[in-house]
Amino acid sequence: MPGIEDCLSAAMRIAGARGAGLLDWGSGLALGTAGDSPADDHEATAAEATDLIRLAAESLSFAEPSDPRLPLQDLILTTERSYHLFRLIGTVFDSRLLLHLWLDREDANLAGARMRLQALAEELVLG
Amino acid sequence: MADADNSLRQAIASIEGAIGAALVDYGSGMALGTLDGGGGLDLTVAAAGNTDVVRAKFRTMEMLGLNDSIEDILISLSSQYHLIRPLTSRSGKGLFLYLALDKRRANLAMARHQLAKIEAELEV
Amino acid sequence: MSAAAPRRRQPPGPAVEQLADLQATGALHTETGTLYLDHGAVVHADSPHSLDLGSLLTRCGRVTPDYWQHTLDQFAEHCLVGRMLVAQGALTRGELEVCHLATLYDAGYFALGAFSLATRFEPGVRHWLGPVSGVDPRLLRREAVRRRDLLERIWPWPQVDTAPVRHTVTTDQDGTAARGLSPSPRRRELLGLADGRRTPVELARLLGRSTYATIVEVRRLAAAGLIATPPDAPTHPIPADAMARRVPGATLRRGRAPDPPPHPAPTEPDIALLIRVRTALEARL
């Protein structure tokens, strides 16, 4: 059964991975990190990334009033050299968790990485 | 080259699963043009909402000292995809193209590729 | 045991760092919580002001209160509660680690904000949860400062953290959409309970949510004018703008203008203590 460290190590084995983090977007806290961070500072990256996700998650345009679940599932940011994948994790207990994976675009397979990250997110809370 | 209206029309017509498109000024959050593809989305509200996300992302990049420019932002919801693409041309600075897709019908890779093409041909 | 534990004239932040340097094992009690150290790492924290692990897991139904109590009765004495929750299949390892860290940082935020200079260290004491993971005390302290700064940026009126939460919109429309805040179910639930009697700490406990995250939400709602911001020193029996409301045609003050307090003064000891916590956080971290 994977813990936070196993989950992040597995994320770092995804092709093109440069850094990974398990973040709490309710508080901006990094519960765990692995590899590098784009700003050489995992805590700053966590605070900024969670702010972005909070805005996306709470953005008025995405609210589907008929669906009580959080509508946001993932967010992928593509830049010239990188992909940033943010996968939200649902838990039974109250939380606002996400997995962040930073990928080198040249070495990454976006579709594959996205599916793998979803599987890792599910394994972390489902065992 | 295509103007904004033509680009939005092309996006809705040619991209499988497209349910709405807009050209948005992220300085103000105002939509310069919107086209409803039958998705029943309030595109003006969506434009304002997405502006917050785009602004946050630009601020994040600035604060983290990243010089990497944003190509696109893909947001997956339970039943839709939202694709945001900042314009790269000099005249399009401060604008982004926004496309909403029906998740059941959309091909994500194809949609990203086609929106990139439409963006490259867009003259504002 | 406490008789042997000397009181120290040292704020909790420096105290825990010093204990970490000594690779100490034991419990550091502050006025607002306890930090448990194992060879210098903070392995757990609790505070009467933050939601504890048991409440987080039982309020949502992840484990039943009976099961929780039974596990405590059987394994707390041997500090094996965490390990047994996973071994018995009640939680996945990932769930335990996430819940443990979330409650540790939440309690740490309050414990480190103690006003009093007196801290008390009980060497050798271990927490009943047992080993899950550890946090560097310096990281915990940095995180507490970041959390305080985040609240300050959202809405710099800390009195909303401790005052009873009162919804300013009284119609059935909760008004979140109109004010640019997403009317998420979480937010609606919080506003629905904001009846002017419960503090954010009480609301968090009732909802089974992180206390800090609830305070963040309350500050955001206060910034949007959806929750009343009482004056810092709420002693005026009739606030000036309460009078203005009675004048026909007078403009209702909304948004950034503080609303009148729901009660004349915070008299409950819990609130008074939290106000001191807040003052101390500002002064010391």
CATH number for the domain that contains residue B97? 3.30.450.30
Give residue A60's pLDDT: 57
Q: Tell me: the pLDDT tens digits for B67-119?
A: 678 899 999 988 889 999 999 888 888 899 999 999 999 999 999 999 999 99
CA quadruple A43, A46, A49, A52: dihedral sign:
negative
All structural domains of chain A, each given as residue ranges with its CATH number in brackets, are 4-60+72-126 (3.30.450.30)
Please tell me the least confidently modeled range out of A81-85, C158-162, C180-184, C239-243: C239-243
Domain boundaries of chain C, sorted by first residue: 2-146, 155-284
> What percent of chain A stands above pLDDT 70?
91
Give residue C2's pLDDT: 44
Please tell me the least confidently modeled range out of A25-29, A39-43, B38-42, B64-68: B64-68
Average confidence score pLDDT of chain C: 80
* Chain A residue with minimum CA distance to B48: A61
Give residue A7's pLDDT: 97
Name the CA radius of gyration of chain A, rounded: 14
Q: Tell me: the pLDDT tens digits for C248-261?
A: 333 333 334 444 33
Distance CA C218, CA C258 (A): 14
Please tell me the least confidently modeled range out of A112-126, C108-122, C221-235: C221-235
- pLDDT band with cut points at 50, 70 and 90 for residue A48: confident
Give residue A52's pLDDT: 87
> What percent of chain B stands above pLDDT 70?
95
Asked whether A74 and A85 are in contact (CB, 8 A), the reply is yes
- Does the pLDDT value for residue C264 go beyond 50? no
- pLDDT band with cut points at 50, 70 and 90 for residue B50: confident
- pLDDT band with cut points at 50, 70 and 90 for residue B12: very high
CA angle B108, B110, B111 (to 5 degrees): 65
- Does the pLDDT value for residue C279 go beyond 90? no
Asked whether C165 and C194 are in contact (CB, 8 A), the reply is yes
- Does the pLDDT value for residue C205 go beyond 50? yes
CA quadruple C43, C46, C51, C55: dihedral sign:
positive
Distance CA C280, CA C261 (A): 23
What are the chain A neighbours of B57 within 8 Å (beta carbons)?
Answer: 52, 77
Give residue B26's pLDDT: 85
Give residue C267's pLDDT: 38
Q: By three-state DSSP, how is residue C134 classified?
A: coil
What are the chain C neighbours of A95 within 8 Å (beta carbons)?
Answer: 98-99, 102, 210
- pLDDT band with cut points at 50, 70 and 90 for residue A109: very high
Name the CA radius of gyration of chain C, rounded: 21
Q: What is the domain count for chain B?
A: 1
What b/e sequence results for C254-279 when a residue is b if at least 16 CB atoms lie within 10 Å of its CB, and e otherwise?
A: eeeebbbbbeeebeeeebebbbbbbe
Give residue C11's pLDDT: 82
Q: Do A59 and B56 touch (CB under 8 A)?
A: no
Give residue C109's pLDDT: 94
Q: Who wins on pLDDT, C44 or C169?
A: C44
- Does the pLDDT value for residue C281 go beyond 70? no
Is the minimum CB–CB distance between C213 and chain A shorter than 8 Å?
yes
Looking at the partner chain, which of B53, B61, B69 has a beta carbon nearest the beta carbon of A59?
B53
Is the minimum CB–CB distance between A64 and chain B shorter than 8 Å?
yes
CA quadruple C97, C102, C103, C107: dihedral sign:
positive
- pLDDT band with cut points at 50, 70 and 90 for residue C98: very high
Looking at the partner chain, which of A61, A64, A79 has a beta carbon nearest the beta carbon of B78?
A64
Q: Tell me: the pLDDT tens digits for C48-69?
A: 999 999 999 999 999 999 999 9
Across residues C170-181, what is the average pLDDT?
A: 57
Per the structure block, which two tokens stand in for C156?
């710099």
Q: Do A62 and B52 touch (CB under 8 A)?
A: no
Is the minimum CB–CB distance between C97 and chain A shorter than 8 Å?
yes
Is the minimum CB–CB distance between A115 and chain B shorter than 8 Å?
no
Q: Tell me: the pLDDT tens digits for C7-31?
A: 667 788 889 999 999 999 999 999 8
In a domain, B10, yes or no: yes
Q: By three-state DSSP, how is residue C41 classified?
A: strand
- Does the pLDDT value for residue C1 go beyond 80? no
Looking at the partner chain, which of A27, A92, A127 has a beta carbon nearest the beta carbon of C213?
A27
- Selected for mutation to probe chain C from A70, A93, A122 (highest C CB count within 10 Å) is A93
In a domain, B79, yes or no: yes
> Scanning the structure block, which residue is given the tokens 């009640």?
C90
Is the minimum CB–CB distance between B69 and chain A shorter than 8 Å?
yes
What are the chain A neighbours of B83 within 8 Å (beta carbons)?
Answer: none
Distance CA B84, CA B46 (A): 11
The A residues from 83 to 112 touching B (CB cutoff 8 Å) are: 111
In a domain, B110, yes or no: no
> What percent of chain C stands above pLDDT 90?
63
- pLDDT band with cut points at 50, 70 and 90 for residue B9: very high
Distance CA C9, CA B115 (A): 64
Across residues A23-41, what is the average pLDDT?
A: 92
Torsion of CA B42, B43, B47, B49, to 10 degrees: 20
Q: Which residue range is the domain that position B33 belongs to? A: 4-103+115-119
Across residues C174-194, what is the average pLDDT?
A: 74
C235, burial (CB in 10 Å: exposed 0-12, middle 13-18, buried 19+): exposed
Give residue A116's pLDDT: 97
Distance CA C95, CA C99 (A): 6
Q: Do B77 and A69 touch (CB under 8 A)?
A: no
Please tell me the least confidently modeled range out of B57-66, C105-114, C150-159, C274-283: C274-283
Distance CA A32, CA C98 (A): 10
- Does the pLDDT value for residue C185 go beyond 80? no
> Scanning the structure block, which residue is given the tokens 């050299």?
A81
Q: Do A80 and B69 touch (CB under 8 A)?
A: yes
In a domain, B97, yes or no: yes
> Which amino acid type is present at position C78?
H
Is the minimum CB–CB distance between A56 and chain B shorter than 8 Å?
yes
* Chain B residue with minimum CA distance to A74: B76
- pLDDT band with cut points at 50, 70 and 90 for residue C5: low
Q: Do B73 and A76 touch (CB under 8 A)?
A: yes
Give residue C29's pLDDT: 95
Average confidence score pLDDT of chain A: 89
- Does the pLDDT value for residue C184 go beyond 80? no
- Residue whose C-alpha is closest to residue C73's, from C128, C138, C16: C128
Distance CA C103, CA A98 (A): 17
